Amino acid sequence: MSIYFFLFFLLSLSTALDDCTSTTSKCSDDGPPIRFPFRLKNQHPPHCGYPGFDLSCSPNNTTTVLDLPNSVKVLVTHIDYKSRLIHIKDPNGCFPRQLQNLNLSTTPFNFPDSMDYFVVNFGLFSCPPSTKMEGYYWPYEKGHTYRVTCLRGGDGRDVYFLDNSSSIAYIPELISCRKMYNVWSVPYDVFDETADLQLQWLQAPDCGKCETDGKFCRLMRNGTSEEILCFGNLNPPKKDSVHNFRIFSCLAAKPNFPNCGSCLNGNVHVMSGEMTIQ
């Protein structure tokens, strides 16, 4: 057996054991790192991620996109794997425009509901331009109503939102308005174009411990759907990555390729499905 075949076999074995989860991908240099339970569609096989955690890159590879049901798209700006949170924003800077189609019930995600991130149901109203209701604005209290600055209700009309737990009877200005539609289980911040919106996931395996220990996370083979395995190193030494690159270079080279001898003289070790070169 030639040394080339032996090295190729070891590399293939290591890749299979890692099951494509020992790498972190990005859509751009400043984009969020993408790893299990997420995967990049059209780049990683389905088994590299958990169902419902498919991401994609924009056509120009500058942003990370999450496709939600009913053609709702959001950009993912940050992924907190320890807290199981993703930070999102609207591609066009007006998330309220997508709220009518938003339905998270069939996804692993929902808006976190807490005292700092209050989730309620809202009604949206189309009102004449002369309507003035800013005086009713007071966050997280009944009667909270405010204009949605990036929406228009047609014929120059403004759009206002109102907490559905409030009665229109307390806001006489709404008499001249017409109800457009309801929005369910969203925080007040979805109407703030500058807000840092967050979605949480609770259904997928919890990789928080692995992340805290600086390790990758994957489903345990032959285990239950929730059992995970922590493995590898999220921040491997740069020296190892250089040596791994040299192995690939030598495998592709002819035996008499310049500078290939130093690679072939290295010591190869395989431990727990991972390979390092010394």
Whether 270 shows a pLDDT value over 80: the answer reads: no
Among 79, 141, 139, residue whose Cα is nearest residue 109: 79
Residue reference for tokens 């997508």 = 98
Report CA-CA distances (Å) from 242 to 33, 168, 234, 276. 21, 66, 16, 10
- Which residues neighbour 48 within 8 Å (Cβ) at sequence distance 6 or greater? 19, 20, 21, 36, 39
Per-residue pLDDT band at 181 (split at 50, 70, 90): very high
- 37 in Cβ contact with 204 (< 8 Å): yes
Cα 174 → chain centroid:
38
Among 103, 99, 108, 94, residue whose Cα is nearest residue 199: 108
79 DSSP 8-state letter: E
Average pLDDT over residues 110-137: 79
Average pLDDT over residues 73-77: 97
User: Cα angle at 76 between 74 and 82, to 5 degrees?
Assistant: 135
**3-class secondary-structure state, position 31:** coil
More confident residue, 226 or 146: 146
Residue reference for tokens 């992924």 = 79
**3-class secondary-structure state, position 124:** strand
Average pLDDT, the chain: 76
Cα–Cα distance between 66 and 70 in angstroms, integer?
12
Cα–Cα distance between 90 and 96 in angstroms, integer?
9
Cα–Cα distance between 23 and 19 in angstroms, integer?
10
Cα–Cα distance between 248 and 244 in angstroms, integer?
7
Q: What is the pLDDT of residue 238?
A: 63
> Helix H segments across 68-219?
208-212
Per-residue pLDDT band at 171 (split at 50, 70, 90): confident
Model confidence over 15-50: pLDDT tens digits? Answer: 443 555 456 789 999 999 999 999 999 888 888 889
Q: What are phi and psi of 136, to 5 degrees?
A: -90, -5
Whether 197 shows a pLDDT value over 50: the answer reads: yes
Cα–Cα distance between 218 and 210 in angstroms, integer?
9
The beta strand positions in the chain, using DSSP E, are: 39-40, 54-57, 64-68, 72-80, 85-89, 109-110, 119-127, 145-152, 158-163, 178-187, 197-201, 216-219, 228-231, 268-271, 274-277
